[in-house]
Amino acid sequence: MFLQYLINGLSIGSVYALIAIGFNMVYGILNLLNFAHGDTYTVGCFVIFALVAMKLNIFLAIMCGILVGYILNTLVERFAYRSVRFSGRITPTISAVGIAYVMRNVVLRIWGPETYPFDMGIRGAQVKFGNFVLGTLQIYIFIIAIVLMLLITFILKRSKIGQSVTAISQSIPISALMGVPVNRTISTVYGVGGALGVIGGFLFCIYYESIFLGIGFMLGTMKAWMSSIIGGIGSLKGAIIGALTLGLMESFTGGYISSQYRDSFVWGFIVIFILIRPKGLFPSAISEKV
Amino acid sequence: MRNKFILSLCILILVVMFSASSFAAEEILFAIVSSMTGDTAAEGIQTQNAVDLALSEINGSGGVNGKELKYIVGDDMGNPPQGLILAQKFSTNDDILFWLGPNSSSCCIAALPVLQKVGLPLISPCSSNPTMTHMGFNNFFRLIVNDDMLIDQLAKLAVIELGYKNIALIWENSDYGIGMRDVALRAIPELGGKVLFSETFVPNVDRDFSSQITKFKGGEVDCVLVLGIYTAGALFLKQSEALGFNAEIIGSSGCSNPKLISIAGEASEDFIAIATFDPNDKRPKQAKFIEDYANFFKGEAGVLGVGEWGAHAYDVVYLVKKAIEMGGTTREKLIEVLHSPDFEYDGVTGLNKFDEFGETSGKRTLFLTVKDGKFVAFFPTKF
């Protein structure tokens, strides 16, 4: 059963990776944990769900959902982060938690707390080799995660906006002096982070064929955060590796050790890991002002 | 001029205050506490709906002793600390006569000590953990048959009726799940079966059962008992199908909610759950209740129909009405009347009569199986 646990772990890890990429983008630029990340994509996914229920074409619905995620995250940046940008670390984080609660409660008001079946007509085939089962959906998710990571890394390195982003991550005042449109660039980063989150959330819902409002915080933000701690916060490569590692840890601990104490083991491992290597496996170079 | 204005304002406020309190004396207040949000939200929603139906009938025909029944709602989210907070909050409100209590066993256990202190009776429609009635709370009553009986029946279904010997348990990590697990671990070997695996999951949080399913698959399990509530049951069914795990899957009464079918889709076909209420019961009293519920509600609740939570909650309201009419007008007297050996109420869930521990017994249980996307009743033949 080792191989099946491995496949399961990589599958769930890929889903976490998609969510972690969006989360890490924001952290990498501004050194701020976006606790509203999960709830932003929850809204986006519910929008897709509602549009498909109203018989809109599925691709259009996905585009709308991604757009909603983009816009919402820029709004989060505008109202929860921008005004407190220079007030240290705690204030913006709490402010984000606040706006996350608002979004979660809007979803609760409109769709309620129930779990709904999320049937988009997209169903992967099952590939069986002997006793093992691999879904083609799982393969697609894995590939999408890698492709997105490569795409974003490429854009950050080679394009003008990528360079603006790197400049801002080093110093906001200097970038402004150099003519970089700071506010607009930061908004774009948040927006793209939100859009990526919706893609991740959507694939998460397809994978489990269900949607409910808890996909945001519990399963999104927390897992993304844990992945980033393991993989190295601020680094996209780290986000993916961290997420896959998290998925594998959950799968193997649940299978071989105990399903009852699985979370204790996983969290325990993370605590020990932070003590030994606080920067994570592949930390991005974080330059400090001296 | 100004002084006259202030004086009239004060008089107006006093008048409003007094009229508010005199209005309160015309009604009987109780609290509904259940999980209105979270994975088990269908419980709370169905409970409240059934109470609304009962209240419309009772208040529409003169109320109880001429007074209207009214309720306030507390959402415990299926989360025990939240249940405790609600107990502390409501225990300071002296107008509340009783709690139409949580369906979550953990939430009941959390709230009972606080409610005992203020003598507030907690009448739970469906919390079924067997140990609760023996914890020494004289203010606790429950209408549902407890898990000792229910899981015993489920074990008999697996081993005697269906003939499976290699059983796996998957239980939710809560008082409800642990209580059921303990009964299953005792009952299955007694009947001649073997429990090969006993795995768990965190209710309301865990979505992924692939580790547990993979383990069961590798161990040649032929029957799985899902001891949890409908959302987890549905996800387990779906993921079992996706992973090619073909064992028979049967579930506890928390899985007998039609929402399980709506979430699991085709994967739920042939799933069997034990139940305390048949949503297609043709007996006159029950059939009328089912029809009234469906007509009273438009929207999802009506479409999916009522189940055990709604049925038991409906009975709680009528039962308390009878008790109040028999003299149970204060908290103390209500507890006394409910405990008295003469008190009984024959409702849609059967004959409700409490023993000295607040337990009911002698009610009918049945099994529901999914056929063509709907729950259909069946009664075992071999036991």
Question: Per-residue confidence at B299, pLDDT binned at 50, 70, 90?
Answer: low
> Chain A: nearest CA to B182, how far in angstroms?
15
B140 in a structural domain: yes
Reported as a single tens digit per residue, the pLDDT across B273-292 is 999 888 888 889 999 998 88
Question: Per-residue confidence at B320, pLDDT binned at 50, 70, 90?
Answer: very high
By CB neighbour count within 10 A (0-12 exposed, 13-18 middle, 19+ buried), where does B26 fall? Answer: exposed
- Residues B154, B258 share a domain: yes
> Chain B: nearest CA to A84, how far in angstroms?
32
List chain A residues with CB under 8 Å of B207.
208, 210, 219
Write down the architecture of domain A2-276 according to CATH.
Orthogonal Bundle (1.10)
- Which chain B residues in 254-283 lie under 8 Å from chain A, judged by CB atoms? 259, 262-265
Range of B315's domain? Answer: 26-145+284-352
Task: Return the higher-pLDDT residue of B169 and A228.
Answer: B169
Looking at the partner chain, which of A219, A251, A259 has a beta carbon nearest the beta carbon of B199?
Answer: A259
Looking at the partner chain, which of B212, B218, B265 has a beta carbon nearest the beta carbon of A254?
Answer: B212
B14 in a structural domain: no
Which range is least confidently modeled, A127-131, A221-225, B144-148, B305-309?
A127-131
Looking at the partner chain, which of A108, A126, A219 has a beta carbon nearest the beta carbon of B242?
Answer: A126
Contact A210 B235 (CB under 8 A): yes
- Residues B173, B187 share a domain: yes
Asked if A122 and A140 touch (Cβ cutoff 8 Å), the reply is no
Cα gap A148→A286, rounded to integer Å? 22
Question: Does residue B369 register a pLDDT over 90?
Answer: yes
Question: Per-residue confidence at B165, pLDDT binned at 50, 70, 90?
Answer: very high
Contact B200 A254 (CB under 8 A): no
Reported as a single tens digit per residue, the pLDDT across B184-214 is 999 999 999 999 999 999 887 788 898 899 9
Is residue B350 left, alpha or beta, with left meaning phi > 0 and alpha meaning psi from -120 to 50? left
Examine the predicted complex and report whether its ipTM is higher than 0.85: no
- Residues B122, B158 share a domain: no
CATH of the domain at B325: 3.40.50.2300
Q: What is the rounded average pLDDT of the residues A216-230?
A: 82
- Residues B314, B226 share a domain: no
Reported as a single tens digit per residue, the pLDDT across A203-215 is 888 888 888 887 8
- The whole-number pLDDT of residue B178 equals 92
Query: SS3 for chain A, per residue?
Result: CHHHHHHHHHHHHHHHHHHHHHHHHHHHHHCCCCCCHHHHHHHHHHHHHHHHHCCCCHHHHHHHHHHHHHHHHHHHHHHHHHHHCCCCCHHHHHHHHHHHHHHHHHHHHHHCCCCEECCCCCCCCEEEECCEEEEHHHHHHHHHHHHHHHHHHHHHHHCHHHHHHHHHHHCHHHHHHCCCCHHHHHHHHHHHHHHHHHHHHHHHHHHHCEECHHHCHHHHHHHHHHHHHHHCCCCHHHHHHHHHHHHHHHHHHHHHHCCCCHHHHHHHHHHHHHHHCCCCCCCCCCCCCC
Contact B211 A250 (CB under 8 A): yes
Question: Does residue A222 register a pLDDT over 60?
Answer: yes
Q: What is the rounded average pLDDT of the residues B209-223?
A: 90
List chain A residues with CB under 8 Å of B244.
126, 128, 133
For chain A, the domains span 2-276
B323 in a structural domain: yes
Looking at the partner chain, which of A115, A133, A210 has a beta carbon nearest the beta carbon of B243?
Answer: A133
B176 in a structural domain: yes
Question: Does residue B17 register a pLDDT over 70?
Answer: no
List chain B residues with CB under 8 Å of A112.
37, 41
List chain A residues with CB under 8 Å of B214.
1, 4-5, 8, 255
